[in-house]
Chains A and B, each alone.
Chain A
Amino acid sequence: MAEPVKAVAADGREPILQVRGLVKHFPLTRGVLVKKQVGAVKAVDGVSFDLYRGETLGIVGESGCGKSTVAKLLMNLERATAGEVFYRGEDITKLSGRALKAVRRNIQMVFQDPYTSLNPRMTVGDIIGEPFEIHPEVAPKGDRRRKVQELLDVVGLNPEYLNRYPHQFSGGQRQRIGIARGLALNPEIIICDEPVSALDVSVQAQVINLMDRLQQEYDLSYLFIAHDLSIVRHISDRVGVMYLGRMAEIGTDAEIYDHPTHPYTQALLSAVPVPDPEAREGRDRIILTGDVPSPADPPSGCRFRTRCWKAEERCATETPELAVPVRFRDEASPAAHPSACHFAEVRDVVGAA
Chain B
Amino acid sequence: MPEITEQAPATEAAAAPRSLWGDAWRDLRRNPIFYISAVLILFLVLISIWPSLLTGTSPYACDLGRSQQGPAPGHPFGFTTQGCDVYARTVYGARASVVVGICTTLLAALLGCVFGGLAGFFGGWWDAVLSRIGDIFFGIPVLLGGIVFLSVIKGGSIFTVVLLMSVLGWPQIARIARSAVISAKQQDYVQAARALGASTPRMLLRHIAPNALAPVIVVATIALGTYISLEATLSFLGVGLKPPTVSWGIDISSAATQIRNAPHMLLWPAGALSITVLAFIMLGDAVRDALNGVNYSVSAGETLAVLGESGSGKSVTAQAIMGILDMPPAKIPRGEIRFRGEDMLTMSADARRRLRGAKIAMIFQDALSSLNPVLTVGYQLGEMFRVHQGLSKKAALAKAVELMDRVKIPAARSRAGDFPHQFSGGMRQRIMIAMALALEPDLIIADEPTTALDVTVQAQVMDLLAELQAEYHMGLILITHDLGVVADVADKIAVMYAGRIVETAPVHELYKNPAHPYTRGLLDSIPRLDQKGQELYAIKGLPPNLLNIPQGCAFHPRCPKAQDLCRTDTPALHTLGEGRRSACHFWKETVNG
A–B in direct contact per CB < 8 Å: yes
Binding site for B on A (CB under 8 A): 62-63, 72, 75, 77, 100-101, 104-105, 108-109, 111-113, 116-123, 130-131, 134-135, 158, 163-165, 167-173, 178, 181, 185, 198-206, 208-209, 212, 227, 229-231, 233-235, 253-254, 257, 267-280, 285, 287-291, 350-352
User: Could you count the A-B residue pairs with CB atoms below 8 Å apart for me: how many are there?
Assistant: 235
Binding site for A on B (CB under 8 A): 5-7, 9-10, 12, 15, 17-21, 187-189, 191-199, 202, 206-207, 210-211, 298, 308-310, 410, 424, 426-427, 454-460, 462-463, 481-488, 490, 507-508, 511-512, 521-523, 525-533, 535-540, 542-543
Q: Are A62 and B456 in contact (CB under 8 A)?
A: yes
User: Which of chain B's residues have a CB closer than 8 A to the CB of A131?
Assistant: 196
User: Which of chain A's residues have a CB closer than 8 A to the CB of B12?
Assistant: 158
Q: Are A101 and B10 in contact (CB under 8 A)?
A: no
B524 smallest CB distance to A (angstroms): 8
**Selected A-B contacts with CB under 8 Å, 18 pairs:** A62-B457, A101-B197, A109-B195, A116-B187, A130-B193, A167-B18, A167-B20, A170-B6, A170-B10, A171-B6, A200-B5, A200-B543, A202-B522, A227-B455, A234-B532, A234-B533, A272-B484, A273-B487
A104-B196 contact given A116-B188, A205-B536, CB 8 Å threshold: yes
Q: Are B525 and A204 in contact (CB under 8 A)?
A: yes
User: Which of chain A's residues have a CB closer than 8 A to the CB of B543?
Assistant: 200, 202
A288-B308 contact given A123-B19, A134-B202, CB 8 Å threshold: no
C-alpha spacing A239/B256, complex, angstroms: 82
A212-B18 contact given A167-B7, A269-B529, CB 8 Å threshold: no
Identity of the chain A residue whose Cβ is nearest the Cβ of B15 in the assembled complex: A168
User: Which of chain A's residues have a CB closer than 8 A to the CB of B5?
Assistant: 171, 198-200
Q: Are A120 and B20 in contact (CB under 8 A)?
A: yes
Known A-B contacts: A104-B197, A209-B538, A230-B527. Give 16 more (CB < 8 A): A77-B195, A134-B199, A165-B18, A168-B17, A202-B309, A205-B537, A206-B540, A234-B533, A235-B527, A254-B532, A268-B455, A274-B528, A278-B508, A279-B530, A288-B456, A291-B457
B579 smallest CB distance to A (angstroms): 14
Q: Are A291 and B530 in contact (CB under 8 A)?
A: no
A121-B20 contact given A109-B195, A170-B10, A287-B459, CB 8 Å threshold: yes
Q: Are B455 and A288 in contact (CB under 8 A)?
A: no
A164-B15 contact given A62-B454, A276-B487, CB 8 Å threshold: yes
C-alpha spacing A75/B194, complex, angstroms: 9
User: Which of chain B's residues have a CB closer than 8 A to the CB of A254?
Assistant: 532
| Cβ 8 A contact of B528, one of A63, A202, A204, A230 | A230
Identity of the chain B residue whose Cβ is nearest the Cβ of A280 in the assembled complex: B488
C-alpha spacing A120/B530, complex, angstroms: 40
User: Which of chain B's residues have a CB closer than 8 A to the CB of A168?
Assistant: 10, 15, 17-18
C-alpha spacing A277/B21, complex, angstroms: 51
| Cβ 8 A contact of B487, one of A120, A199, A274 | A274
Identity of the chain B residue whose Cβ is nearest the Cβ of A288 in the assembled complex: B456
User: Which of chain B's residues have a CB closer than 8 A to the CB of A227?
Assistant: 454-455
Q: Are B528 and A170 in contact (CB under 8 A)?
A: no
C-alpha spacing A271/B459, complex, angstroms: 5
C-alpha spacing A113/B310, complex, angstroms: 17
Q: Are A117 and B189 in contact (CB under 8 A)?
A: yes
Q: Are B527 and A234 in contact (CB under 8 A)?
A: yes
Q: Are B19 and A165 in contact (CB under 8 A)?
A: yes
A48 smallest CB distance to B (angstroms): 23
B276 smallest CB distance to A (angstroms): 32
User: Which of chain B's residues have a CB closer than 8 A to the CB of A234?
Assistant: 527-528, 532-533, 536
Q: Are B6 and A287 in contact (CB under 8 A)?
A: no
C-alpha spacing A135/B199, complex, angstroms: 11
Identity of the chain A residue whose Cβ is nearest the Cβ of B5 in the assembled complex: A200
Q: Are A291 and B191 in contact (CB under 8 A)?
A: no
C-alpha spacing A271/B488, complex, angstroms: 11
| Cβ 8 A contact of A233, one of B194, B310, B481, B527 | B527
A121-B309 contact given A205-B538, A227-B455, A280-B488, CB 8 Å threshold: no
C-alpha spacing A278/B538, complex, angstroms: 24
User: Which of chain B's residues have a CB closer than 8 A to the CB of A269?
Assistant: 529
User: Which of chain A's residues have a CB closer than 8 A to the CB of B21?
Assistant: 121
Q: Are A173 and B459 in contact (CB under 8 A)?
A: no
User: Which of chain B's residues have a CB closer than 8 A to the CB of A206?
Assistant: 538, 540
Q: Are B535 and A274 in contact (CB under 8 A)?
A: no
Q: Are B196 and A275 in contact (CB under 8 A)?
A: no
C-alpha spacing A122/B484, complex, angstroms: 39
Q: Are A116 and B189 in contact (CB under 8 A)?
A: yes
Q: Looking at A75, A165, A288, which has the most chain B CB atoms within 10 Å of its CB?
A: A165
B424 smallest CB distance to A (angstroms): 5
User: Which of chain B's residues have a CB closer than 8 A to the CB of A100?
Assistant: 197
Q: Are A352 and B196 in contact (CB under 8 A)?
A: no
C-alpha spacing A200/B526, complex, angstroms: 11
User: Which of chain A's residues have a CB closer than 8 A to the CB of B7?
Assistant: 167, 169-171
User: Which of chain B's residues have a CB closer than 8 A to the CB of A199?
Assistant: 5
| Cβ 8 A contact of A119, one of B194, B211, B427 | B211
Identity of the chain B residue whose Cβ is nearest the Cβ of A264 in the assembled complex: B456
B125 smallest CB distance to A (angstroms): 11
C-alpha spacing A165/B16, complex, angstroms: 9
A275-B525 contact given A227-B455, A280-B488, CB 8 Å threshold: no
User: Which of chain A's residues have a CB closer than 8 A to the CB of B507?
Assistant: 277
Q: Are B191 and A271 in contact (CB under 8 A)?
A: no
User: Which of chain A's residues have a CB closer than 8 A to the CB of B463?
Assistant: 285, 287
Q: Are A163 and B189 in contact (CB under 8 A)?
A: no
C-alpha spacing A86/B269, complex, angstroms: 75
Identity of the chain B residue whose Cβ is nearest the Cβ of A204 in the assembled complex: B525
Q: Are A352 and B456 in contact (CB under 8 A)?
A: no
Q: Kindly list the 10 A-B residue pairs having the minimum CB-CB distance in the complex, ordered from nearest.
A: A273-B484, A234-B527, A271-B459, A117-B188, A62-B454, A205-B525, A101-B197, A275-B483, A202-B539, A205-B538
C-alpha spacing A22/B211, complex, angstroms: 34
User: Which of chain B's residues have a CB closer than 8 A to the CB of A229?
Assistant: 455, 529
C-alpha spacing A26/B554, complex, angstroms: 51
User: Which of chain B's residues have a CB closer than 8 A to the CB of A200?
Assistant: 5-6, 308-310, 481, 543
C-alpha spacing A222/B432, complex, angstroms: 39
User: Which of chain A's residues have a CB closer than 8 A to the CB of B308?
Assistant: 200
User: Which of chain B's residues have a CB closer than 8 A to the CB of A231?
Assistant: 527
| Cβ 8 A contact of B456, one of A163, A171, A267 | A267
| Cβ 8 A contact of A134, one of B197, B458, B540 | B197
B291 smallest CB distance to A (angstroms): 12
A326 smallest CB distance to B (angstroms): 28
Q: Looking at B189, B424, B459, B533, which has the most chain A CB atoms within 10 Å of its CB?
A: B189
Q: Are A271 and B456 in contact (CB under 8 A)?
A: yes
Q: Looking at B17, B530, B542, which has the most chain A CB atoms within 10 Å of its CB?
A: B530
B559 smallest CB distance to A (angstroms): 12
C-alpha spacing A163/B9, complex, angstroms: 17
| Cβ 8 A contact of A201, one of B193, B309, B426 | B309
C-alpha spacing A276/B521, complex, angstroms: 15
B46 smallest CB distance to A (angstroms): 33
A34 smallest CB distance to B (angstroms): 12
C-alpha spacing A131/B193, complex, angstroms: 8
User: Which of chain B's residues have a CB closer than 8 A to the CB of A135?
Assistant: 196-197
User: Which of chain B's residues have a CB closer than 8 A to the CB of A105?
Assistant: 197
Q: Are B526 and A352 in contact (CB under 8 A)?
A: no
User: Which of chain A's residues have a CB closer than 8 A to the CB of B456?
Assistant: 62, 267-268, 271, 288
